[in-house]
Structure 1
């Protein structure tokens, strides 16, 4: 009698397991898995923070930020099954946070100062109890920086880069970032385009240069925080800051209702910062080409 070769249960189980692992190791799969986990955690903590006082809210936001960092690390480590060098927890994290803060603060202060110099903004101190303004702005900025950077630069950028290389990743994540802001108050096509350039390209270039999540989170956080404390709308969201801002002149200069991000000034400055970052990224060998991915 002829003996037929039939796969046993262990072989079939092994194939199913391999197919399951391969599915989640595909870049878009681990990108969506990680993003879904971060979004669900963010929604949950936002609901929990309702009706809390300032101190409790900032503490809960810190816990929430730690949770989304853990979710990101778990998605990369156990779903994508890759190393996570962009998220160091040693002393380098502190230096990158400080460096990101310096870049973010300089970017906003220079942009704001130039708009004021050209007569677009004038500021007047308006708050007696500063803590009533400072803590809510820090809370909002902190949550946005962690969630947006982990999703757009941490997950989406690296997933697309794995498939199409660094330039396609930079282009697509910048476009997605601009489109994501179209639903904000006062948003226009120009506002979305300006966000695409000054935030999408700048933060993407910053990630390519440093290859460090802490750097871009810090840059994003201090950008939004300084802008909010100045009383300027943050991407269309009104900010009751420490100052009352009188806006005069064309929207192309001031950004209009959308705020500073829709001004031509920070768009130009962001490009002046992004280009050197991309040059440094290239010199460091941080740019991945499509040819490298196909090898």
Structure 2
């Protein structure tokens, strides 16, 4: 049985509040331009930081920098590239579809509750992946420079999260789950929005190093999970928080690779996967292993069958006349 929140959703009403909906043949090209064009915007400044020796090129050079320095470099990269992604998505929605930023899933009300709950669920979900590997003996503590781990790295760890990962996680959610998913679902079919937004999210990571078939499957599963999470809450606050702290927990809390990439800024714990790559994810990080597949499938099952305790009150959609 298909739940009502999947077919009749506040996020669809918000999309319809604009003067026009983006057609299917334009959604993917516009999404590609926003996703990859925004990253090009950051290249000149990243190149300058590279020439200045602030951005490390190898893991050894990253570990030679104080966590505050490497954390600042990572934060600048995340803020530039993904901040522009948020800006470009908003400009398209504002100038073409003629609706406000709030209609991307950021309506006021229960913000602290939804965002705080997203942080807790995201942290618990990623901790579960580590918790599944540890009893099997597939997680170990890696020898590292004491200056890069624990309290000595706390300044860099916090700096990267605020605002680095907060912007990065929100940007990908705004583009795929805030704009692409409800736009396609409202104009065509729900399954079209779920499928295309999830596959697009996977394609956004196609150039990441050490990408495997299982990693691509997990990225698509995460895209589907994110869509169900956003639709169930009828908001983007929670899934933005989930996404941000999931990435932060991988790299800066547990010291693991984030979607195949080394993370700067230090770490609270420096762990390493020691088991088979198909289970642990290997060089791609836990997102490339079967343990993350299990966590994501379980999480989606919880969202799907979680009992509905109340129906959200129907309120008039935000009109284009009130667009910011």
TM-score class normalised by the smaller sequence:
0.7 to 0.9
Q: Is the 8 A contact 2:72 2:156 kept in 1?
A: no
Q: Is the 8 A contact 1:97 1:218 kept in 2?
A: yes
Kindly report which structure 2 residues correspond to 1:160-239, keeping only aligned pairs within 5 A, or say none.
160-197=184-221, 199-229=222-252, 230-239=254-263
User: Separation in 2 of the partners of 1:57 and 1:237?
Assistant: 12
User: Separation in 1 of the partners of 2:309 and 2:181?
Assistant: 20
In structure 2, the partner of 1:16 is: none
User: Separation in 1 of the partners of 2:297 and 2:118?
Assistant: 17
Instruction: Give the CA deviation at 1:163.
Output: 3.6
Q: CA RMSD in A?
A: 3.4
User: Separation in 2 of the partners of 1:282 and 1:174?
Assistant: 25
User: Separation in 1 of the partners of 2:84 and 2:285?
Assistant: 31
Instruction: Give the CA deviation at 1:107.
Output: 0.3
Match of 1:272 among 291, 298, 301: 298
Pick which of 58-67 and 136-145 moved more.
Answer: 58-67
**1:142 is aligned to 2:166:** yes
Pick which of 273-282 and 163-172 moved more.
Answer: 273-282
Instruction: Give the CA deviation at 1:112.
Output: 0.8
SS of 1:181's equivalent in the other structure is: coil
Kindly report which structure 2 residues correspond to 1:1-80, keeping only aligned pairs within 5 A, or say none.
25-26=22-23, 29=26, 32-33=29-30, 36-37=33-34, 40-45=37-42, 47-48=44-45, 51=49, 54=71, 58=75, 68-80=85-97
Q: Is the 8 A contact 2:230 2:239 kept in 1?
A: yes
User: Separation in 2 of the partners of 1:158 and 1:262?
Assistant: 28
Pick which of 67-76 and 95-104 moved more.
Answer: 67-76
Instruction: Give the CA deviation at 1:45.
Output: 4.4
User: Separation in 2 of the partners of 1:60 and 1:180?
Assistant: 17
**1:261 is aligned to 2:279:** no
Question: Which stretches in structure 2 are left out of the alignment for 5+ residues?
Answer: 1-18, 55-68, 313-324
Q: Is the 8 A contact 1:208 1:281 kept in 2?
A: no
Residues matched between the structures, number: 264
- TM (norm. structure 1) is 0.73
Instruction: Give the CA deviation at 1:120.
Output: 0.9
Q: Provide closer, same or farther for how the CA distance between residues 254 and 158 of structure 1 changes in structure 2, counting only shifts above 3 A.
A: same
Q: Provide closer, same or farther for how the CA distance between residues 164 and 68 of structure 1 changes in structure 2, counting only shifts above 3 A.
A: same
Q: Is the 8 A contact 1:177 1:195 kept in 2?
A: yes
Instruction: Give the CA deviation at 1:121.
Output: 0.7
Deviations 1:118-174 (A, max 9, x none): 111112574423047415743653343132112211222122213432223222222
Q: Which has the larger radius of gyration?
A: 1
Q: Is the 8 A contact 1:195 1:261 kept in 2?
A: yes
Q: Provide closer, same or farther for how the CA distance between residues 190 and 100 of structure 1 changes in structure 2, counting only shifts above 3 A.
A: same
Instruction: Give the CA deviation at 1:255.
Output: 1.0
User: Separation in 2 of the partners of 1:160 and 1:281?
Assistant: 27
Q: Provide closer, same or farther for how the CA distance between residues 64 and 175 of structure 1 changes in structure 2, counting only shifts above 3 A.
A: closer
Q: Provide closer, same or farther for how the CA distance between residues 255 and 189 of structure 1 changes in structure 2, counting only shifts above 3 A.
A: same
**1:151 is aligned to 2:175:** yes
Q: Is the 8 A contact 1:209 1:281 kept in 2?
A: no
